[in-house]
Chains A and B, each alone.
Chain A
Amino acid sequence: MLQTILKYSLLVLAALSFIYPFIWMLSASLSSESSLGELTLLPVDFTWNNYVTVFTKIPLDRAFLNSALVAVLTTGLVLLSGAMVGYALARLDFVGKNIIFYLIIFTMTLPFQITLIPNYITMVKLGWVDTYLALIVPFALNSLSVLLFRQAFQSLPQALIDAARIDGAGELRIIFQVLIPNIFPTVLTITILTFMGLWNEALWPLIVIRDESTMTMPQLVTLFSVGGRAEGQLGVKIAAAVMLAIPIVVLYLFFQKHFIRSMASSGLKD
């Protein structure tokens, strides 16, 4: 009995310490400046002002569209390229297949610190600085998704492919019409991982995007928080942070289980 009480009080305490800061953030963003710093559950002096100010100071709506565009397009490309490469590695035989597999492993262990500066210079030389291309193309393929697709395709029976071949389907049709529907969980995992990673990425946009109309949300919110445009007003910064958090939290509330499983599978890659 005592153990049970202890167990639940520990869990509740932990849960509170993870949830309460978010609740505080939400109510602080809806409170007047002078009541910030209160330990509160509900907004004090309720006001929308902070949000109004955020939208007049920075083009957050535009940044939202940029983020959404970049995340959706890139996720699509990652699925496309991952499925193609993963399929070839899983089901086809060709010279150099093993080399490619090892290159992928190598890429995954390579710290990004090495490639950061040269990649920036590539962007500059291609004239992609301040364009969506700089945000999309470098992320259009990722090693983890290739490996996950490879694993998923390997688990499927050869008969599925053979039957499709007899019907005269080409390889692309086999991949995208016959096989993909059978590995939906993997597709979902990759979608979630890629989308979340892109939505939250702040470092790379900071490096390649200087034009405010092309900035993504995390970048804009970071700059807003570091720079002087908030004029030292905390509530406004917090409101900007809330706006950045809301889309992904909403998605999380809908696809909670999938989020957790996807993240766990990325953690288990070693």
Chain B
Amino acid sequence: MKKWMPYLLVSPYLLHFSVFVAFPVVFSVVLTFHSWNIISPMKYVGLANYRHLIHDRLFWQAVWNTVRFLIVHIPLQILVALTLAELLNRTVRGASFFRAAFFLPVIVSGVVVTILWQQLLSYNSGILNRLLTTVGMARVAWLDDPAVAMYSIAVMATWKNVGLYIILFLVGLQSVPVQLYEAADLEGATNWQKFRYITLPMINPTIFTVVVLSTIGGFSLFVEPYIMTEGGPMNTTLSAVMYIYRQAFQYYHMGYSATLGFCFALIILFVVIIQRRYVEQEV
């Protein structure tokens, strides 16, 4: 083997890394100190972008929206996924059918899911409101009420992703040694005690994975609000990526948009590190 062979083999990686990772990271940092609308020359503005960001109501609104999304999305995701995984983990006829059904929304494009849910949630003619009015309840403006819209999206996102987490939990549940349950049975433990003191600690890493992936997902939310609400009503569904997109491609504030991207990324890293700490303490 020639000496340069390994380098030749990894060269696609190095090239790709320098063009699409290293350069953007460096350039992104540089951009955050500039004002630039792409067509005029870049202008150095020092920390102005960061100062603006601190006072930018919409930046904080986007952060707050993501928090509100995650507060509903994460617990719901874990609850539904764990329940269904628990049910599937017992001997079930047609388990593979159920698994396949739960997984269906996962493989379909978010665009499809969003268009579908937009119809289900429509105020005047959506199926959900039809159901509500048939049982004598009032209509809900699922996507037009500022107090509700983000939670509607959170539920929809849960519906879309939960199949994946069911599978992850199934893998986790199946890795719990049967002997542990048998020992617990001997001691007369209830089902709840078994779940609380054996299952839960054993699948803690899976829960962590779900939390991290959902958090990253929350900060990456784009197609859903873009199609359904365009960030409204009252900016209550403006997501981080939507705001970056809007600043870049509606106002051509490339420098500020990069600053937003940079700060959102820092927030994500920070949140994930905190989550990891917390999980490590639990275990």
Q: Does A52 contact B (CB under 8 A)?
A: no
Q: For B216, give the chain A residue with the smallest CB separation.
A: A111
Q: For A248, give the chain B residue with the smallest CB separation.
A: B107
Q: Does A70 contact B (CB under 8 A)?
A: no
Flag if A171 contacts B5 (CB, 8 Å): yes
Flag if A109 contacts B269 (CB, 8 Å): yes
Q: Does A221 contact B (CB under 8 A)?
A: yes
Cβ 8 A contact of B110, one of A85, A111, A200: A200
Q: Does B232 contact A (CB under 8 A)?
A: no
Q: How far is the CB of B8 from chain A (nearest CB, A)?
A: 8
Q: Does B204 contact A (CB under 8 A)?
A: no
Which A79-103 residues sit within 8 Å CB-CB of chain B? 80-81, 84-85, 87-89, 92-94, 97, 100, 103
For the complex, give the distance between the alpha carbons of A202 and B106 in Å: 15
Cβ 8 A contact of A202, one of B24, B88, B107, B109: B109
For the complex, give the distance between the alpha carbons of A7 and B50 in Å: 54
Q: How far is the CB of B175 from chain A (nearest CB, A)?
A: 11
**A11-B98 contact, Cβ under 8 Å, with A88-B6, A264-B164:** yes
Q: Does A135 contact B (CB under 8 A)?
A: no
Which A residues are CB-close (under 8 A) to B258? Answer: 117-118
Q: For A240, give the chain B residue with the smallest CB separation.
A: B115
Which A1-44 residues sit within 8 Å CB-CB of chain B? 7-8, 10-11, 14-15, 17-19, 21-22, 24-25, 28, 36-37, 39
Q: Does B240 contact A (CB under 8 A)?
A: yes
Which B247-272 residues sit within 8 Å CB-CB of chain A? 248-249, 254, 257-258, 260-262, 264-265, 268-269, 272
Q: For A261, give the chain B residue with the smallest CB separation.
A: B167
Which B residues are CB-close (under 8 A) to A17? Answer: 159
Flag if A114 contacts B104 (CB, 8 Å): no
Flag if A119 contacts B159 (CB, 8 Å): no
Flag if B254 contacts A117 (CB, 8 Å): yes
Q: How far is the CB of A84 from chain B (nearest CB, A)?
A: 5
Q: Does B135 contact A (CB under 8 A)?
A: no
For the complex, give the distance between the alpha carbons of A24 and B1 in Å: 60
Q: How far is the CB of A136 from chain B (nearest CB, A)?
A: 12
Which A residues are CB-close (under 8 A) to B117? Answer: 21
Which A174-206 residues sit within 8 Å CB-CB of chain B? 196, 199-200, 202-203
Flag if A110 contacts B21 (CB, 8 Å): yes
For the complex, give the distance between the alpha carbons of A249 and B87 in Å: 25
For the complex, give the distance between the alpha carbons of A242 and B115 in Å: 10
Flag if A200 contacts B111 (CB, 8 Å): yes
Q: Does B102 contact A (CB under 8 A)?
A: yes
**A238-B115 contact, Cβ under 8 Å, with A113-B244, A121-B27:** yes
For the complex, give the distance between the alpha carbons of A21 and B126 in Å: 12
For the complex, give the distance between the alpha carbons of A117 and B254 in Å: 7
Q: Does B105 contact A (CB under 8 A)?
A: yes
Of A8, A80, A203, A248, most B-chain CB atoms within 10 Å: A203
For the complex, give the distance between the alpha carbons of A120 and B164 in Å: 31
Flag if B127 contacts A24 (CB, 8 Å): yes
Which A residues are CB-close (under 8 A) to B241? Answer: 113, 116, 203
Of A11, A122, A203, A207, most B-chain CB atoms within 10 Å: A11
Q: For B242, give the chain A residue with the smallest CB separation.
A: A203
Which B residues are CB-close (under 8 A) to A225? Answer: 111, 114-115, 118, 227
Which A residues are CB-close (under 8 A) to B213? Answer: 267
Which A residues are CB-close (under 8 A) to B111? Answer: 200, 202, 218, 221-222, 225, 241, 244
Which B residues are CB-close (under 8 A) to A87? Answer: 9
Q: For A207, give the chain B residue with the smallest CB separation.
A: B249
Flag if B209 contacts A118 (CB, 8 Å): no
Q: Does B20 contact A (CB under 8 A)?
A: yes
Q: Does B19 contact A (CB under 8 A)?
A: yes
Q: Does B140 contact A (CB under 8 A)?
A: no
Which B residues are CB-close (under 8 A) to A114? Answer: 24-25, 28, 261-262, 265
Cβ 8 A contact of A270, one of B99, B167, B212: B212
**A234-B119 contact, Cβ under 8 Å, with A18-B159, A124-B38, A226-B226:** yes
Q: For B262, give the chain A residue with the smallest CB separation.
A: A114
For the complex, give the distance between the alpha carbons of A87 and B90 in Å: 40
Which A residues are CB-close (under 8 A) to B20? Answer: 115, 119, 122, 138
User: Which of B68-76, B144-152, B176-184, B217-225 binds A?
Assistant: B217-225
Can you list 19 A-B contacts with CB-CB less than 8 angstroms, sorted by A residue number? Answer: A21-B117, A37-B122, A88-B9, A111-B216, A114-B25, A114-B261, A117-B257, A118-B31, A121-B38, A122-B23, A200-B108, A203-B241, A242-B112, A248-B108, A249-B108, A252-B103, A252-B107, A267-B213, A268-B168
